[in-house]
Amino acid sequence: MKLEHKSIIITGSSRGIGKEIAVLLAKNGAKVVVNYTRSKDAAEETIAEINKNGGTAIALQADVSKKEEVIRLFDETIRAFGKVDVLINNAGIMTNKPFKDFSQDDFTSQFDVNVRGVFNTMQEAANKLADNGIILNFSSTTTKLMLPSYGIYAATKAAVEQMTRVFSKEVGRGISVNAIAPGPTKTELFLEGKSEEFIAKLKGMNAFGRLADPIDIAKIVLFLASDDSKWISGQVIGANGAMI
């Protein structure tokens, strides 16, 4: 029970990697906040699975790109669980197009969720996260791969990495701040619209000849969310099977 007595907010955790993280962390003793923006039914299904396994969790709706909703997310978590020990910034969106085809709205929506969302939650955590807490932000291996059509998404994740490094030295109070950069992972968000040929190409780029399963990423998050990881801070941890 590595996370017993810890209260953890996981943004965008109603499905995909976020859901797998929520379920695993709850199994390890954490009190989990399953945050969602629109997927209420999926969030409730995640809560039901956690409860079935004997865990403790609540679902809280909040759009992390909106400051006032992030404030409410933290305040409601503190009312429910008394504190926030760990913040996991998993929420994100991805639109794939060549640079010339991106609209202004495409650009703005990705930066609003992927960058402003992390900024909003870290800013709130600066005052409301418990002493000796942990912040884990989600980046992506796409920051290094230079894949066509990923230009804006990769740019948002590069911004997250830089905010992570700087904030780790600013925040104080014993709080550690890191980012995790998964490689291709079998989620609805990632697989949508991709051909079998492209998926096969990605599988061949790592050392294990497969895409990651969400649980592969969740197990790394379990370590990084625990006190065992406290001497790691200001780092971007690759989780991509030696892809790069």
| Digit-coded pLDDT (tens) for 169-189 | 999 999 999 999 999 999 987
Strand partners, 36: 61
Q: Quick one: average pLDDT of 235-243? A: 97
| Residues recognised as catalytic | 153
Does a structural domain hold residue 190? no
Does a structural domain hold residue 238? no
Does a structural domain hold residue 65? yes
- Classify 241 as helix, strand or coil: coil
Does a structural domain hold residue 209? no
Q: Quick one: average pLDDT of 22-43? A: 97
Does a structural domain hold residue 206? no
Number of structural domains in the chain: 1
Which residues span the domain enclosing 31?
Answer: 7-185+214-231
CATH of the domain at 165: 3.40.50.720
- Give how far the C-alpha of residue 58 lies from the chain's centroid of Cα atoms, to the nearest Å: 17
> Is the full-model pTM beyond 0.95?
yes
Q: With bands split at pLDDT 50, 70 and 90, how would you rate the model's confidence at 39?
A: very high
Does a structural domain hold residue 51? yes
Res 190 pLDDT > 90: no
DSSP of 29-58, one letter per residue?
T-EEEEEESS-HHHHHHHHHHHHHTT-EEE
Does a structural domain hold residue 178? yes
Does a structural domain hold residue 91? yes
Residue type, 204: G
